[in-house]
Structure 1
């Protein structure tokens, strides 16, 4: 593990950019960017277009370590290049931004009010490639829809099980048990989730350090114990479908919680913008998310 990167992620001022839309969410991300499905005829063209969009974001002047600590990449992005360097090397060497990799393969069908992760075949091989590409950490997502104690326990158990495999490979895992912001019992889900997370965190050894990516809690500062836990490097928040303005307002009310927005980050940018317009829009986005993250 790179100690300089570890210290930056743990203590730096800023947020983590989520650039990890995968196969299922890429058409939606492109559509928001102003590229409709009739503008590509197969998956390869679609991935070329999303890489162009991500490259445009990463090469924007304001996308740098002044505001951004890390960026989460999709597997395909890790294997591609930006300005002649592998993406993760470009981020770290040119921008001072720490690279993470999304490793999950999507969600299983809902059961017990939650969606576990689908199995991740060849994870060890992927982690080996991540190390070769100088990636610092990983991210994986599950979803909690209902305050079902058994379901939530299974989400956390699965997340920590995979996290230990990732830790063994020398990478820092971001555990993401997302509570659906539209859940009628969001606050109750968060109560059960926090307790389960604390139970598992207390079971980690001193050399096992993880990160958490959580929905912004209903009660301000509800995750303070998680943020202060000695095994937690950083707690980051997802925008979860809130508009950037609303997500920023909610985030700013939580001390020590920083953003890891995907849709919130790229809101307001489009393929039709000139480079100057695009760079101005992304700079505005980065600035507002940064300000909400440093409260």
Structure 2
């Protein structure tokens, strides 16, 4: 682990850019970018197009380490290159931005109000490759749709079980138990989730560190205790389907939490924009998310 990168993520001003749309969400991400499904005929062509999109974002002057602390990559993005460098090396060396890797394989079917992670059969090999590609940390996502305490405990148990393997590989895991923003009992789910997270964090050793990626809570500062926990490097928030404006306003209400937005970051970008328009659009998004991350109400 790079100590300077740890210091940057722990104490730096800015946010984490989520550029990790995977197989299932890639067609939607491309369509939103203005690339329809008839533009590619197989998965290889699809991933090339999404890498082109991510390359355009990462190489933009608006994608600046003054505002952006880190970026979360998809596995194929990690194994692809930008200007002759693997993506993580380009981020770190050319941009001064810390690279993370999405390691989960997607969500299992909904069961008892939650979606656990699918098995990750190649995790050991993937973590080895992540180290070879100079990745700093990882991210893995589950989803909570109902306030079922036993199911929420199972989600957090699974997250921390994998997190310990990731820590053992000298990487920092981002634990992401997303609470669906449309859940009818979202506030209750968040209370159960916080309790389980605190229990697991208290069980970690002093050498173990994690990050948390959480939905913006119904009650502001619900997760303040987590931002202060000694085992938590940083608490970041996902936009979760909120518009950028709404996500930013909610983020400002939560002390110690910074953004890790995906759609809210790239939603207004389009393949047909001129470089000038593309860069200006991205800059507007980046600066607004940065302001919400560092300036609290």
Coarse TM-score class (shorter-chain normalised): over 0.9
1:246 maps to which residue? Answer: 246
Distance in 2 (alpha carbons) for counterparts of 1:211 and 1:220: 19
2:84 maps to which residue? Answer: 84
2:39 maps to which residue? Answer: 39
Q: TM-score when scaled to structure 2?
A: 0.99
Distance in 2 (alpha carbons) for counterparts of 1:186 and 1:173: 24
1:227 maps to which residue? Answer: 227
Q: Does 1:288 align with 2:297?
A: no
2:119 maps to which residue? Answer: 119
2:179 maps to which residue? Answer: 179
Distance in 2 (alpha carbons) for counterparts of 1:83 and 1:264: 27
Distance in 2 (alpha carbons) for counterparts of 1:36 and 1:252: 35
5+ residue gaps, structure 2: none
Q: TM-score when scaled to structure 1?
A: 0.99
SS at match of 1:69: strand
Q: 1:141 Cα shift?
A: 0.2
5+ residue gaps, structure 1: none
SS at match of 2:23: coil
Distance in 2 (alpha carbons) for counterparts of 1:223 and 1:282: 29
Q: 1:48 Cα shift?
A: 0.6
2:3 maps to which residue? Answer: 3
1:143 maps to which residue? Answer: 143
Distance in 2 (alpha carbons) for counterparts of 1:15 and 1:261: 8
SS at match of 2:70: strand
Distance in 2 (alpha carbons) for counterparts of 1:122 and 1:156: 21
Task: Extract structure 1 runs of 4+ deviating beyond 4 A.
Answer: none
Distance in 1 (alpha carbons) for counterparts of 2:128 and 2:64: 27
Distance in 1 (alpha carbons) for counterparts of 2:268 and 2:2: 34
Q: 1:253 Cα shift?
A: 1.0
Q: 1:218 Cα shift?
A: 0.5
Distance in 2 (alpha carbons) for counterparts of 1:42 and 1:175: 32
Distance in 2 (alpha carbons) for counterparts of 1:268 and 1:107: 27
Q: 1:256 Cα shift?
A: 1.1
Aligned length: 295
1:133 maps to which residue? Answer: 133
Distance in 2 (alpha carbons) for counterparts of 1:138 and 1:292: 24
Q: 1:267 Cα shift?
A: 1.4
Distance in 2 (alpha carbons) for counterparts of 1:36 and 1:288: 28
Q: 1:186 Cα shift?
A: 0.4
SS at match of 1:146: coil
Q: RMSD of aligned C-alpha atoms?
A: 0.5
